[in-house]
Chain A
Amino acid sequence: MKQNLSRTFWIRVAAIAIILVFSVFLFFIGKQHTVLVDNKAVTVNGVEVKALQLVEVEVNSLGSLELAARDRDKFDVTGQKHKVTVIYTDANWEEHTIVRTFRIPLMQEMVMILLPALVADPEGDQSLWLENYELPTYAMTAPAEEPVVTDDLAVLSDI
């Protein structure tokens, strides 16, 4: 008995441990997040920063989106580490490009990038222009009652 406990048992424990670690790894690399990009006037450290007239944003290489003032759009991404590219034209008609990498907290479904804050301080820490976002509960207007269909005779549907 003691001998069995040594070999087969430990190999099995090791296998389960490897699978658990692998599962956690999968969780990390597969987790989906939504990155909102917002072009609204925002207050940073007590200073009011105006929205940009026109700005082009791209996260990773998902295709660039154009936002006018007070626009908001979103990107769906997988994983935690991402790159944002911002191209805008400032008051002197000069074009600037900012490229920053940022990290999304693992358990956070949605985050928002405040573009004016990013543009105002391109080298600043991501906490200045990246904030966590929660869906307001009043936005959930689900129907009052959704009947659950447990119809065994759904054999006529397509397989």
Chain B
Amino acid sequence: MNTEKLTSSVKGMMKSFGLPRIIIAVFLLVLFILAPFVGVNVGTSLSDTLNRFGMNAVMVLAMVPMIHSGCGLNFGLPLGIIAGLLGATISLQVNIPGPTSFLLAIVFATPFAVILGWGYGQLLNRVKGGEMMIATYVGFSSVAFMCIMWLLLPFSNPTMVWGYSGSGLRTTISVEGYYLHVLNDFLAIRLSDHLVIPTGMILFFALLAFVIWAFLHTKTGTAMTAVGSNPIFARASGINVDKVRTLSVVMSTWLGAMGILVYQQSFGFIQLYMGPFYMALPAVSAILIGGASVNKASILNVVVGTFLFQGIVTMTPSVMNSMIHTDMSEVIRIVVSNGMILYALTRKTEAVR
């Protein structure tokens, strides 16, 4: 009798968690177990995974507000990334070296994020029901538009512009001397020769995650959740649905801007032009791997999802390469991330959108 109940409850848990996620989690575990046997240092792998976790977590966090308010998966993340890029480039143009440049980048990025997010939100409010497709193409169009802008805007810092002509930004700009590893090295814990925990970056993410979590428990935050799960009831309760949705879009865009800044300080480079083009897809699939759906997401989803996704992206090349001497990591990454998004899109959801 007891075993029956146990198996049925385990089955229930497995069903709600979803078979693909279990497969991915098991796959990652297998990779970690195999690692020492094929000569891959577990410490370095863990360290790399944590590093990539920190780099990407904020951008995955950016998905949460829009999912909560029912705007669907934010395929238009590139818009927020562009706000962040503008902040970064202007900060470098102002040319104050050292950690202050990071704060300056945040300060400069914020107004862009708010304005772009507001416009984007207004647009999404007019197209309820088809947000995801339009978000994708708004993201692409804005990246393409900024390509033109990066060529034309009057930047002059010699580290940023092309050597010969002196105008037009380079494709990748190094942040060395400015805010390279500014968060990574802050309070970094060195456990061993191979294992380094980038505490600063993780703390930054934890701070932002806490802010979002706290916000979702305020009155406006609960209103946001209400709008997402039942817009008609929300409107009947007197909530201004459009305003709340716009707010969620602005928050999402701003988090996207923060996310790319965190990414850059760890990666070491600002990637312009077509760099941000496909950056929404890893973030979307990460949060879906973590257990979110098209209209339900929590901070736990962000943490679990980013860890699993980045774990696979880190471990597959090194382990598979040592095992079968083929680098199939790119293909696996494509299949896993897009497969996860497909899985989520084909689930029946409570609020039919």
Interface of A toward B, CB cutoff 8 Å: 150, 152-153, 155
Complex CA–CA separation, A155 to B278 (angstroms): 13
Is A153 a contact of B277 with CB atoms below 8 Å? yes
- A150 touching B330, Cβ below 8 Å: yes
- Size band of the interface chain B makes with A: under 10
Interface: B323 (CB within 8 A): no
Contact (Cβ within 8 A) B274 A153: yes
Within the assembled complex, what's the spacing in Å between the Cα atoms of A155 and B274?
Answer: 10
List chain B residues, Cβ under 8 A from A150.
330
- In angstroms, Cα B277 to Cα A150, docked, is 15
Q: Chain B: which residue is nearest A154 at the CB level?
A: B274
Within 8 A of A (CB), among B295-353: 330
Give the residues in chain B near A155, CB-CB below 8 Å. Answer: 274
Minimum distance in angstroms from A27 CB to a CB of chain B: 32
Give bound CA distance, A153 to B330, whole Å.
Answer: 15
**0 or 1 for each of B259-279: is its CB under 8 Å from A? (1 = yes):** 000000000000000100110
Chain B at the A interface: SS class: loop
With a cutoff of 8 Å between Cβ atoms, the chain A residues found around residue B330 in the complex are 150
Bound CA span A69–B147, Å? 62
B residues near A153, Cβ cutoff 8 Å: 274, 277-278
Residues in A whose Cβ lies below 8 Å from that of B278: 152-153
CA distance A94 to B274 in the complex (A): 72
**Nearest opposing residue in chain B for A153, CB measure:** B274
A150–B274 Cα distance when bound, in Å, is 15
- Using CB atoms, name the residue of chain A closest to B273: A153
A interface footprint on B117-136 (CB within 8 Å = 1, 0 otherwise): 00000000000000000000
Q: List 7 A-B contacts (CB under 8 A).
A: A150-B330, A152-B277, A152-B278, A153-B274, A153-B277, A153-B278, A155-B274
B229 to chain A, nearest CB (A): 35
Chain B residue at smallest Cβ distance from A152: B278
Distance (Å) between the CB of B296 and the closest chain A CB? 30
- Bound-state CA distance A153–B78 (Å) is 15
Most buried by A among B274, B277, B278: B274
Q: How far is the CB of A156 from chain B (nearest CB, A)?
A: 8
Shortest beta-carbon distance, B282 to chain A, in Å?
13
Distance of A145 from chain B, by nearest CB (Å): 12
Could you tell me the distance in whole angstroms from the C-beta of A154 to the nearest C-beta in chain B?
Answer: 10
CB distance from A69 to the nearest CB of B (A): 50
Kindly provide the distance from the CB of A144 to the nearest chain B CB, expressed in whole angstroms: 15
Shortest distance between the CB of A149 and any CB in chain B (Å): 11
